[in-house]
Structure 1
């Protein structure tokens, strides 16, 4: 793990936003942009688009009668049309308590202890993930990212994408739990069965969730006891104000199942690698380090998930 990963979601987000702007300046013919992010990279990407978002402008156009009419344009990301926003096993609800980090086995004592010491290991990023950050009395960063906050357009940026997609592991991901990566309550986790689809054998469930109505996501006040369930519910409701495609993945029958957190992001077939890389380079920006080419024999299991991503990519 690079030490830069420990700097915090906000610092990494600022770096990513800067890199995106550099790419846009170097390639003036770009007109569209998409993000594909793995694990904490999904939170970093959400922060970055909040920085890169440009509100729509009202342009005055003349009709045949000579009367001026205002036409509202769509917001952009760095001046580019926002297409796909895809996260792969990203902890959108954070990692604090309630079985969000599976390797803690859902034991309250372990989860409480982890929230107290996580900053010693993962520094500022750990505080953001466990919602213990308190920058000058501000709410936790993940809560701030539910709305447009100060000079950041977190929610407006998320809304401007034509697609928002969540890939999640249903089991054997010991780093990021199913609920936090799929933005679901425990009662909303679907029943799934092993896939019979030969093209995407590891895709076990797909769900298209519409944006919630305004009266369904009123802000919930957090009680003085700091209940993580209350805060988690607020995160679920806030992020449900936009539509999501939720793709659930299982490596249960795979020999690599205990490495599910990494296997799901692997691009193991060279043909797929070339297809995605060329596509991204021509029109979009791919978050560096998200899709990694690994040993084909060891990680061939994850290729169908990446192929599913490519086949459904909007261009």
Structure 2
């Protein structure tokens, strides 16, 4: 165990876990042990528990494999912290898919516990915030879901056939080309699972432009016709937040009616329909005036100290985090 900070009354304390990752918490003024676990899929960052089970080439082994690792890691943290009563997830990019997979595995129906809970829990904890940042919820297969391919149908079709050569099983999952034992693509099956239904808040941060890796539709869980028009931010505190909206949960009939007025890939539409059965907060971000806009996928999570232009996005997450 160690402290973060130079003075004797350290604000933060850190502890490496046996299963990987780091736990970080404040003990400067608190009179009791922390009771809210925030699991982050952001290697190199440390807030409460920074997962490091799925870094570097480990992200190529498949969304399900990553999700299983994260599941085991969360269980380990909870077992070592009996004072915990709440849980939140904050994940970047494909980490958001791993988190969704893990959440479904960790979900406990009230009848599965010996306690008197009246609603489902995540491994016995109250589900608070589920926050994704530039996560390809709808995969990468649809038109312009990978802006780096310039919207070329030919290039997108070619990428879907060869992506597994580079990104292995994860590439197949993202391009919806996996066919395990004749089952539908994994991301489609995940969209039909309601593990994240029990979070008090679900928030999707999306790059509205300049993200050459993850498209706007897939990261904001929208159909093409639903993408909003936005203007330059006038906020001094959040200069890169250009649009916010609250998307109410939609019933099956409403989802189907919406689908009839759009030209959408069938698999993509199934995922939109499944994910929109719960409410979402959508936060759209733009770095189009930034000198570092071509690295927007990294900027939005402030991955490096020398690329910290997205600090206001992180501040927005902090300011709106429900404890």
Smaller-chain TM-score bracket: 0.7 to 0.9
Aligned partner of 1:288 in structure 2 is none
Once the 2 structures are TM-superposed, how far is the Cα of residue 254 of structure 1 from its aligned partner? Answer: 1.3
Any unmatched runs of 5+ in structure 1?
Answer: 62-70, 148-153, 222-226, 267-291
Contact in 1 for aligned 2:133/2:204 (Cα 8 Å): yes
Displacement, 1:3? 1.6
Cα pair 2:142 2:268 within 8 Å, conserved: no
Structure 2 partner of 1:2: 56
Pick the aligned partner of 2:143 from 82, 90, 98. Answer: 98
SS at match of 2:308: helix
Whole-angstrom distance in 1 between the partners of 2:135 and 2:242: 18
How many correspondences in the alignment? Answer: 266
CA positional deviation for 1:217: 3.1
Matched, 1:112 2:166: no
TM-score by length of 1: 0.81
Aligned to 1:283: none
Q: Does structure 1 residue 15 correspond to structure 2 residue 42? A: no
Q: CA deviation at 1:22?
A: 0.3
Greater relative CO, 1 or 2 (CA 8 Å, sep 6+): 1
What's 2:280 paired with? 244
Q: Deviations over 1:109-146 (max 9, x none)?
A: 10000000001100000000000000001100011112
Runs of 4+ in 1 over 6 A off after TM superposition: 58-61
Q: Which residue of 1 aligns with 2:221?
A: 183
User: Could you state the TM-score of these two structures normalised by the residue count of structure 2?
Assistant: 0.79
Q: Structure 1 pair 232/251, CA: closer, same or farther in 2 (3 Å)? A: same
Q: Which runs of 5+ in 2 are unaligned?
A: 1-54
Conserved? CA contact 1:97–1:112, under 8 Å? no
> In structure 1, how many angstroms separate the alpha carbons of the residues matched to 2:120 and 2:251?
22
Match of 2:307 in 1: 299
The 1:212–1:35 alpha-carbon spacing in structure 2 relative to 1, beyond 3 Å, is same
More helix by share: 1
Task: Find the counterpart in structure 2 of residue 199 from structure 1.
Answer: 237
Change over 3 Å in CA distance of 1:107–1:55 after alignment to 2: same
Decide whether the 8 Å contact of 2:231 with 2:242 is kept in 1: yes
3-state DSSP class of the match of 1:238?
A: helix
Q: Indicate if the aligned counterparts of 1:86 and 1:165 stay in contact, CA closer than 8 A.
A: yes
2:254 paired residue number: 216
Q: Secondary structure at the match of 2:87?
A: strand
Shift of the 58–135 alpha-carbon distance from structure 1 to 2, 3 Å rule, reads closer
- Give distance in 1, aligned partners of 2:117 and 2:257: 29
Contact 1:96 1:228 in 2 (8 A): no
User: Which residues in structure 2 correspond to 1:21-170 (within 5 Å)?
Assistant: 21-57=75-111, 73-147=118-192, 154-155=193-194, 157-170=195-208
Does the CA contact (< 8 Å) of 1:208 and 1:244 recur in 2? yes
Contact 1:203 1:249 in 2 (8 A): yes
Within 1, Cα distance between the matches of 2:114 and 2:94? Answer: 42
